[in-house]
A = this chain, B = another copy of it.
Amino acid sequence: MISKLINEIVKKDAPIVVGLDPMLSYIPDFVKADAFAKYGETLEGAAAAVWEYNKAIVDAVYDLIPCVKPQIAMYEQFGIPGLLVYKNTVDYCKKKGLVVIGDVKRGDIGSTSAAYATAHLGTITVGANTFAPFDEDFATVNPYLGSDGVKPFIDVCNANDRGIFLLVKTSNPSSGEFQDRLIDGCPLYERVAEKVCEWGSLSMDGDYSNVGCVVGATYPEMGRVLREVMPKAYILVPGYGAQGGTADGLKPYFNEDGLGAIVNSSRGIIAAYKKEPYLSRFGEKGFADAARQAVIDMKNDINGAVFGR
């Protein structure tokens, strides 16, 4: 699956992923009003607003980007109706030719990890029939439980040509509380990175592995080290834009082949219309066009700073 993602990144000349993380506060009032008129001020109404919002944004940007990353928490907060829209969003994006990273940060052990892997990347057999429950292309996975938690995901990846991104160094300010602590002179995140290499060797797909990792854009010096520790792992980079990561700081996340990293932006794209310069130009009614312009700007920003083009 990583080779498919790479093909799309190269084809669209855009090492970027749009995070579909819809807060109700991001959704324009007129979209919410329409949805509430149809379904009431209910979880169904909120979910319907998310769905219309997502569709409009995906329609506006899908030709520019290789990949989207819906954050399942933002759907789970609307209960079952929200999760139904998560599923519909995954399906809609795949129909539009997009690679879908389910940002689910699941992680458990043994048969439980296998059940999560089945839910998001695999298939389940019921009697004579087989179903793909959520059917994302990639999922994010938490490594704290070790190999027992990760290998069931890799088995499902290998059976279904899918991939995972393991949390190594997250973008948040407190990520260092555990991740930066030194173990035999090396921070925990490097110890996790060493295991990412080991696990990654179990699912190679061309020059890269289906086992990638997450390293925040907010820590470029650590990104430089981790790029060297995990040469075959694609790095999913959150934290660009709204969280403070800059395009200049992204260079160390890429390999010399110009590949190896894909940079996420969520609210910087999907809520672009709420801030200048997009607000004046597009307004609330133009939220999807604002998202498109923000994607173009992000692509130019990163391609300029990282590749000088």
Contact in complex: B115, A74 (CB < 8 Å): yes
Which residue of the partner chain B has the closest CB to A176? B146
- With an 8 A cutoff between CB atoms, is A306 at the interface? no
- With an 8 A cutoff between CB atoms, is A284 at the interface? no
- With an 8 A cutoff between CB atoms, is A60 at the interface? no
In the complex where A77-B118, A127-B45, A183-B182 touch, is A174 in contact with B147 (Cβ < 8 A)? yes
Residue in B131, B145, B191 whose CB lies within 8 Å of A174: B145
Contact in complex: B109, A171 (CB < 8 Å): yes
Cross-chain pairs A/B with CB under 8 angstroms, 23 sampled: A23-B111, A24-B126, A36-B126, A42-B126, A71-B108, A73-B106, A74-B115, A76-B116, A76-B119, A76-B134, A77-B124, A78-B124, A79-B87, A79-B131, A142-B142, A143-B178, A144-B178, A146-B177, A146-B178, A148-B174, A148-B175, A178-B188, A183-B183
Bound: A14/B195 CA distance, A: 40
Contact in complex: A74, B105 (CB < 8 Å): no
Contact in complex: B77, A133 (CB < 8 Å): yes
Q: How many copies does the complex hold?
A: 2
Bound: A119/B177 CA distance, A: 26
Give A13-34 interface residues, CB cut-off 8 Å to B. 21, 23-24
Contacts of A120 in B (CB 8 A): 76
3 nearest CB pairs, A to B: A41-B127, A79-B133, A146-B174
Contacts of A40 in B (CB 8 A): 129
Which residue of the partner chain B has the closest CB to A116? B73
Cβ of A308 to closest chain B Cβ, rounded Å = 32
Cβ of A258 to closest chain B Cβ, rounded Å = 29
Contact in complex: A127, B80 (CB < 8 Å): no
- With an 8 A cutoff between CB atoms, is A206 at the interface? no
Contacts of A110 in B (CB 8 A): 172
Which residue of the partner chain B has the closest CB to A21? B112
User: Which A positions have Cβ atoms within 8 angstroms of B?
Assistant: 21, 23-24, 36, 40-43, 45-46, 71, 73-74, 76-80, 82-84, 87, 105-113, 115-116, 118-120, 124, 126-129, 131, 133-134, 142-149, 167, 170-179, 181-184, 188, 191-192, 195
Contacts of A43 in B (CB 8 A): 124, 126, 131, 133
Cβ of A263 to closest chain B Cβ, rounded Å = 17
Contact in complex: A148, B172 (CB < 8 Å): yes
Contacts of A172 in B (CB 8 A): 109-110, 145-146, 148-149
Contacts of A83 in B (CB 8 A): 80, 83
Residue in B80, B113, B144, B174 whose CB lies within 8 Å of A167: B144
Cβ of A47 to closest chain B Cβ, rounded Å = 9
Bound: A147/B174 CA distance, A: 6
Contacts of A149 in B (CB 8 A): 172, 174
Residue in B107, B143, B177 whose CB lies within 8 Å of A195: B177
Contacts of A41 in B (CB 8 A): 126-129
In the complex where A77-B133, A119-B76 touch, is A71 in contact with B112 (Cβ < 8 A)? yes
